[in-house]
Amino acid sequence: MAKYLLVSFKTCPWVQRAAIVLREKGVAFEFRHIDPDNRPDWFLAISPHRKVPVLRIDETASLFESNAIAEYLDETIAPRLHPADPLARAVNRAWTDYLPSFAAAVTATAYADSEADYRAAAAQIPVPFERLEAALASQGGGPFFNLQRYHFLDRVKKLGHLEKFPRLAAWSEALLRRPSTHSFPPAEFETMYRAALKRRDKFVSQFVDAAQAAAE
């Protein structure tokens, strides 16, 4: 078995694609977190975009871009998480490519500079939720994207505002019950995320408790 080193920031959401695939396949790997404000030279040498995640394989090869990493892992380590059917596999890949747009829309409130920007961003959150709700409905009974079986696309973090989207809510809860979803205990990650929001100094930062954020 190859030796895997996965490099990321602690609160990076995109590294979860690779981490979850490795855990679902039962593969041991080293998870190394670096400081986003002080990226070491050894990391810059293996990351052309200076971004995380990066997967180092056997200390000889490096892969960057989260989707490329996850696809490589799924192709080279059994069991496959992608469906066997080519059409179903293509549909999954298409929705996987949609997830960055989904994430940008639903997390825009965290980057709003003013209350007006915050409200405008919040008003757009239902749009991607409606699209995913419809996609889940077209796939059948759930709770995963491909009915009852966990697949490659089922790698997502709980985002809130789910009350009007029962299929999306069920999908989220099913994923959060899987141990592979969590790189940190939920309470620990919540603390780190709040600290990151506080440091970001955006509109929502004023609502983050300073003492809780400092407990990182």
At 142 the pLDDT is: 64
Neighbouring C-beta atoms of residue 73, cutoff 10 Å: 26
Burial zone of 85 (CB within 10 Å; 0-12 exposed, 13-18 middle, 19+ buried):
exposed
At 213 the pLDDT is: 44
Mean pLDDT over all residues of the chain?
A: 86
At 210 the pLDDT is: 55
Q: What is the mean pLDDT of residues 29-51?
A: 96
pLDDT digits (tens, 9 = 90+) for 170-188: 888 888 888 998 998 888 9
Lowest mean pLDDT of 83-97, 101-115, 122-136, 143-157, name the range. 143-157
Place of tokens 């960055």: 100
**Cβ-based neighbours of 213, under 8 Å, separated by 6 or more:** 191, 194, 195, 197, 198, 199
Dihedral Cα 99, 148, 190, 208, nearest 10 deg: 60
pLDDT category at 66 given cuts 50, 70, 90 is very high
What does 81-128 look like in DSSP terms, one character per residue? -S-SSHHHHHHHHHHHHHHHHHHHHHTGGGG-SSHHHHHHHHHHTHHH
Query: All domains of the chain, ordered by start, with CATH?
Result: 4-76 (3.40.30.10), 86-181 (1.20.1050.10)
Place of tokens 């141990």: 179
pLDDT category at 135 given cuts 50, 70, 90 is confident
| Percent of the chain surpassing pLDDT 90 | 48
At 80 the pLDDT is: 93
Instruction: Tell whether the model's pLDDT for residue 153 goes beyond 80.
Output: no
| pTM (two decimals) | 0.83
Neighbouring C-beta atoms of residue 152, cutoff 10 Å: 24
Instruction: Tell whether the model's pLDDT for residue 144 goes beyond 80.
Output: no
pLDDT digits (tens, 9 = 90+) for 87-120: 989 988 998 888 888 889 878 988 999 999 988 9
> Hey, which bits of the chain come out as E strands?
4-8, 30-33, 54-57, 61-64
